């Protein structure tokens, strides 16, 4: 996260300046990750690409987490025809492979990083809605919820004070474990030309630009690929730590 925040300041070179005289140079002390086909410093572009990819991922996870939670809690608490309709819509979204569905939507939206986020958000919110709905249904019949109703609390007060605080654990764990997955899916859309567009420094787009030169200039694709690998591993480990921290059984041990 420090790299994401300070990427622009710690870059040794401007990631967008082209110098064809030093194009495709191998990694060296001057250019730690080499240079690309336009003579741009790969290490600087990887740092900025991490900033672009991770910030986009966090925005996406925030959107689907909030949207899915609001929809799920509302459906679980109020029920009725709205609950039935929204759950059938979520079944339709879950029936298709997520990335394939997102590719179709991103293609309809003509690509771009913002459209890639929208496409992934459209297909990813049902998981959070399902979790929030199941938690709400389990809590709705609790004694303290009944007591709150008898005390005159409104539905919004009950949801805000009792339902959400007791449902946030599983939702937060799911969101943290989803960061790595969403990071790879955004990179995948960019790799296919449906996400970030050149000259934007984004890890998936950078790998796409260098894929034809893997055998001759491998650093063009191995550098961004290694950055994705490290970021995904770190966020998955973070998700495991948060899951263990919020698990009541682990606290008892």
- Tally the residues of the chain: 253
| 15 within domain boundaries | no
CA dihedral over 203, 51, 183, 189, signed as positive or negative: negative
- Quick check: 138 pLDDT over 90? no
pLDDT tens digits, residue range 48-92?
999 999 999 999 999 999 999 999 999 988 888 988 999 888 888
| 10 within domain boundaries | no
How far CA 154 is from CA of 77, 83, 133, 134, 144, in Å, comes to: 12, 20, 19, 21, 14
The number of folded domains in the chain is: 1
User: Range of 231's domain?
Assistant: 33-140+147-252
Q: What is the pLDDT of residue 156?
A: 85
Return mean pLDDT, the chain: 88
| 174 within domain boundaries | yes
Residue 25, CB half-sphere, CA atoms under 13 Å: how many? 20
Q: What is the pLDDT of residue 228?
A: 93
The torsion angles phi and psi of 209, rounded to 5 degrees, stand at -65, -25
| 12 within domain boundaries | no
- Give the CATH number for residue 159: 1.10.3720.10
| 178 within domain boundaries | yes
Which tokens sit at 216?
Answer: 């001759």
pLDDT category, 44, cuts 50, 70, 90?
A: very high
| 18 within domain boundaries | no
Q: Contact, 111 vs 195, CB < 8 A? A: yes
| 20 within domain boundaries | no
pLDDT category, 247, cuts 50, 70, 90?
A: low
């Amino acid at each position: 996260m420090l790299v994401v925040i300070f990427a622009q300041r710690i870059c040794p070179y401007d990631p967008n300046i082209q110098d064809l005289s030093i194009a495709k140079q191998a990694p060296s002390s001057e250019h730690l990750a080499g240079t690309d086909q336009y003579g741009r410093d790969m290490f600087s572009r990887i740092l900025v690409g991490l900033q672009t990819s991770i910030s986009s991922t966090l925005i996406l996870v925030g959107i689907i987490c909030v949207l899915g939670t609001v929809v799920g809690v509302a459906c679980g608490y109020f029920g009725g025809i709205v609950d039935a309709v929204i759950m059938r819509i979520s079944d339709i979204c879950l029936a298709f492979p997520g990335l394939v569905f997102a590719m179709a939507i991103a293609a309809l939206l003509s690509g771009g990083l913002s459209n890639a986020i929208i496409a992934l958000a459209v297909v990813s919110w049902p998981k959070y809605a399902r979790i929030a709905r199941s938690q709400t249904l389990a809590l709705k019949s609790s004694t303290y919820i009944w007591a709150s109703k008898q005390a005159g609390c409104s539905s919004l007060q009950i949801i805000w004070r009792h339902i959400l605080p007791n449902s946030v654990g599983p939702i937060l764990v799911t969101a943290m474990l989803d960061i790595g997955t969403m990071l790879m899916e955004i990179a995948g859309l960019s790799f296919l030309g449906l996400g970030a567009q050149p000259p934007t420094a984004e890890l998936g787009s950078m790998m796409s630009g260098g894929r034809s030169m893997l055998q001759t200039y491998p650093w063009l694709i191995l550098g961004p690929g290694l950055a994705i690998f490290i970021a995904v591993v770190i966020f998955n480990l973070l998700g495991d730590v948060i899951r263990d921290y919020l698990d009541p059984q682990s606290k008892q041990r």
